[in-house]
Amino acid sequence: MPKEDRSSFILQGFEPSAVRLKRNIVEWKESTNNSKEQFNHQILLSNENFVLGIPRLRQIRVDDTHCQIIKDLSVRPIRCYAPYHKSKEYRDKFITVTGFQYEYTSPKITAALELLNAYGPYDTGGFIYHFRPTKDLNDKAIINLKKSAWLDLSTRAIFIELIYFNPNIELLTSINILFEFLTTGTVQVRDFFYTVPINSFFFGRKKLLGIFQILFNLFYIIFAFYYVGKIAEHRLWFIMSSFWNLYDLGLLILFTISFYFDIKFLMYISQTLKCFSIPKNDIFKELIYFIETQINRIDLQAYIAAAVLIRLLRYLPHFSNLIANLLDVFYKSIKNSLGFLFLFFLIFMSFVIFATFHYGDELYEFHTFALTSYTLIRCTLGQFEYDRAYRVSPTWTPIFYMVYVCVVFFVLLNLLVAVVNEAYVLGKQEQKQIEDDLQEEYIHGSNNEGLNAFRRSRRPLLQAAFIRQINRFLNFFLNKSIDLNDNTDVRTDDQDDEISLDEKQTIIVEKLQKTLLNDGYNKNVIEKFLQRLLLNNDNDDDDNDIFLFQMEENKTIKILYDEFKIFNNQYENYS
């Protein structure tokens, strides 16, 4: 980043940076109308973009009373130069050495973006000076600022702010050039460009974007009604019963925030379009809030798009067994990799700490912990400057790099590969065991635990074990319990069911058989499935199978219907 000496910058006014700005960015163009002697002065950034309103300067100052130096040096004629902080900012009017007085403008009136670089984030208020609409007037204004000592040792930052518009592609850009006065005696320059589109919904030329935006909002409304309906049906247990349900809650919150920004966009778009038709000098109040809203909308929609793509992992296993196996390996690897990640963090941070303290005073890439971490990650990928480190420490540099590469790359990364490979092998073995159990069931009609576990893999949202723990807690304190169906109010244990469990099981089996026959499934396959279902329930002492028939009748039929489809697919594959 370019730096200039602070003293020369203050003495020379804005000349170094202003000359570069005028030469490289701002061009002044006089346009004629049908060869008539009428001239209209217009600030242009190239021939395609023009500046809206008038650019401005904004100065941030600090209060010198907050500055302190070492007590032993306080007797010397040393001027204290305090770094910027919002608590130290000077917000009163100030009078220059030449007698000029400047008033402070509050952030509510200024309307600026909050920026940060070496210091900050800087406050959006400050001492404002607006440029003039012509080149000659601007040259005189710069000279007057220089003569009036607008800059002094209390200045900590200067912003050159302007907004330009490209009507060909309907893009609005906010340019902010920051000059920071550092405690090292230099001026650090950084530019901030924020480009946002005007067109959205049915404003602008690209009306197709409006159609997609409306479809997105309709999807949000449908998804919100669906999720709220599920919570009303299952109560708050629905959120905590599955990781994906909790993930959907996060998506719903993001959708709601995005909908809020859409409403703000509709509020500010009329002001923005009015600025294009009615020329004004100070247009920052009308446009900054629109630009800030558009920046937040675009960023949030990018996050939502990434989150929705991750959400597809929930449905991909239903389309491919290979993807299902890979995802199963991925989930198991995450659980097994937590210990590895902790071990990697400890070893990696030991190298970071050593490199920061050993090379930080000489090499910029090791100056801070963050820079050192980034440098060592690049070193793992083979991108590092060995010669510079060797000149700093010829003895320790070869040892450090050799040990780091061997430990991190050859040991730790191969350990991670071994963890993933182990999870993959276990997943393949479990899948093969399930296939063998199914084949044995079809041939010999055996009842084994692996098959039963596979057959009962699609459990309802509210698990029986969790409900039983809650019931024990309620019985201990209130002598009440929660229905395993979780579809009725809290009841007493003395209340008897209207029908017995065997009668309910018979009714459910008859309805399931009738539904499967109506859907066109093979009668023999249906009979084998129901025979195995009743046989396993008679011989099984586990409460999970009893819990299945204690649920609501429609939910039990739906779960058994899904299990039959799995059974039918496996039967067709092995028959």
Residue 433 CB partners (closer than 8 Å, separation 6+): 450
Going by C-alpha positions, the residue among 192, 122, 186, 185 that lies closest to residue 157 is 122
Residue 98 CB partners (closer than 8 Å, separation 6+): 147, 148, 149
CA of 540: how far to CAs of 134, 136, 190, 535, in Å? 91, 95, 72, 8
Dist. CA 94–CA 149, nearest whole Å: 11
| Residue 15 three-state SS | helix
Q: Does a cis peptide bond (omega within 30 degrees of 0) precede residue 121?
A: yes
The pLDDT value recorded for residue 275 is: 78
Task: Tell me the HSE value of 229 on the side-chain side, using a 13 A CA sphere.
Answer: 6
The tens-digit pLDDT sequence of the chain (575 residues) is 445 455 554 445 444 444 444 444 444 334 333 333 333 445 555 567 778 888 888 998 888 776 766 666 656 666 677 778 888 888 888 887 777 788 888 888 888 888 877 777 888 888 888 888 777 887 888 888 888 888 888 888 899 988 888 887 788 888 899 998 887 778 888 888 988 888 655 555 566 777 777 888 888 888 888 888 888 877 777 787 778 888 888 889 998 998 888 888 888 888 888 877 776 767 888 888 888 888 988 889 889 888 888 888 887 777 777 777 777 777 777 777 777 788 888 888 898 998 889 888 888 888 888 888 888 888 877 777 888 888 888 888 888 888 888 888 778 878 878 877 777 777 777 767 766 666 666 555 544 444 444 444 443 434 445 555 565 555 555 554 444 444 444 334 444 345 666 777 788 888 888 888 777 777 878 888 887 777 666 555 445 555 566 667 777 777 788 788 777 777 766 65
Dist. CA 479–CA 482, nearest whole Å: 11
Residue 294 CA, chain-centre distance (Å), reads 16
Residue 116 and residue 139 in contact, taking contact as beta carbons nearer than 8 Å: no
The pLDDT value recorded for residue 323 is: 77
**pTM greater than the 0.75 cutoff:** no
Q: Which helix (H) or strand (E) holds 3?
A: strand 3-5
The pLDDT value recorded for residue 95 is: 82
Cross-strand bridge partners of residue 193: 175
Residue 275 CB partners (closer than 8 Å, separation 6+): 52, 53, 283, 286, 287
The pLDDT value recorded for residue 6 is: 52
Q: Which domains, ranges and CATH numbers included, belong to the chain? A: 3-197 (no CATH), 207-314 (no CATH), 321-435 (1.10.287), 447-574 (no CATH)
The pLDDT value recorded for residue 447 is: 47
CA of 90: how far to CAs of 104, 176, 522, in Å? 9, 21, 84
The pLDDT value recorded for residue 49 is: 75
CA of 152: how far to CAs of 32, 173, 257, 297, in Å? 42, 31, 44, 39
CA of 420: how far to CAs of 115, 358, 409, in Å? 43, 35, 16
The pLDDT value recorded for residue 18 is: 44
